[in-house]
């Protein structure tokens, strides 16, 4: 398997700092953070045959909800870790991700994405929540106590061990919601209350 930093240029995937094209079928990890990606770049990403891709880091781009739509239409059945931190996907983008075909996903990073409690409603409908071990939602102050209440009402968190909720607009009531939720394996719980 190939682990690399790469870039997309004119619809082709290249090794970072090289003009050598690569065999996309053998890529296991793709690091595309901070490349100023826009939605069209994500659309191009779907043209590649990335059947062994396990880790995809798209953090610190501007893919927004349209890019999240294209990502959700990709064939990423082997994807285990998806990093979308600081990508401005918002609630609609999270809705697209929740409806994507991410059957192997166990780590999801969604920090600093303008997600509110409405986005959490979308997330809990995703089939992959049953597999999640790590969920990072930090930096989304509109999630608030209502978002955590929606999480509490969902019973698909049985494998979750790490939950990051810094700067999500929570009060003491969210602690009760977490305590009452179906998260029996939760070991790391990072929170900041307002």
Residues 117, 91 contacting (CB under 8 angstroms): no
Q: pLDDT digits over 61-107, tens only?
A: 999 999 999 999 998 999 999 999 999 999 999 999 999 999 999 99
Break the chain into its structural domains and give their ranges. Answer: 2-193
Cα–Cα dist 84/112, whole Å:
9
| Among 170, 171, 162, residue whose Cα is nearest residue 190 | 162
- Asked if residue 134 lies in contact with residue 108, where contact means CB atoms within 8 angstroms, the answer is yes
**Closest CA relative to residue 12, chosen from 30, 4, 24, 29:** 24
Largest CA distance in the chain: 54
Q: What is the pLDDT of residue 22?
A: 59
- Can you tell me which residue has the tokens 């071990």? 133
Please tell me the pTM assigned to this model: 0.90
For residue 92, give both structure tokens.
């609609």
Judged against a pLDDT cut of 80, whether residue 6 lies above it is answered with no
Class of the CATH domain delimited by 2-193: alpha beta
Question: Which stretch of DSSP H or E encloses residue 82?
Answer: strand 81-83
Rounded-to-integer distance, Cα 119 and Cα 91, Å? 4
Predicted confidence band of residue 13 (pLDDT cuts 50, 70, 90): low
């Amino acid at each position: 398997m190939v682990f690399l930093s790469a870039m997309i240029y004119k619809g082709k995937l290249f090794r970072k700092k090289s003009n050598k094209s690569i065999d996309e079928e053998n890529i296991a990890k793709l690091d595309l953070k901070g490349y100023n990606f826009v939605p069209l770049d994500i659309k191009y990403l779907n043209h590649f045959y990335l059947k062994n891709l396990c880790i995809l880091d798209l953090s610190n781009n501007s893919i927004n909800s349209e890019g999240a739509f294209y990502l959700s239409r990709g064939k990423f059945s082997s994807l285990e870790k998806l990093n979308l931190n600081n990508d401005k996907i918002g609630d609609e983008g999270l809705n697209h991700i929740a409806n994507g075909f991410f059957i192997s996903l166990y780590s999801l990073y969604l920090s600093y994405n303008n997600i509110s409690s409405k986005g959490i409603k979308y997330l809990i409908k995703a089939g992959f929540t049953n597999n999640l071990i790590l969920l990072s939602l930090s930096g989304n102050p509109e999630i608030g106590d209502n978002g955590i209440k929606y999480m509490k009402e969902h019973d698909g968190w049985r494998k979750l061990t790490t939950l990051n909720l810094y700067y999500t607009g929570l009060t003491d009531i969210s602690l009760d919601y977490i305590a009452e939720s179906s998260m029996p394996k939760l070991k790391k719980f990072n929170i900041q209350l307002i």
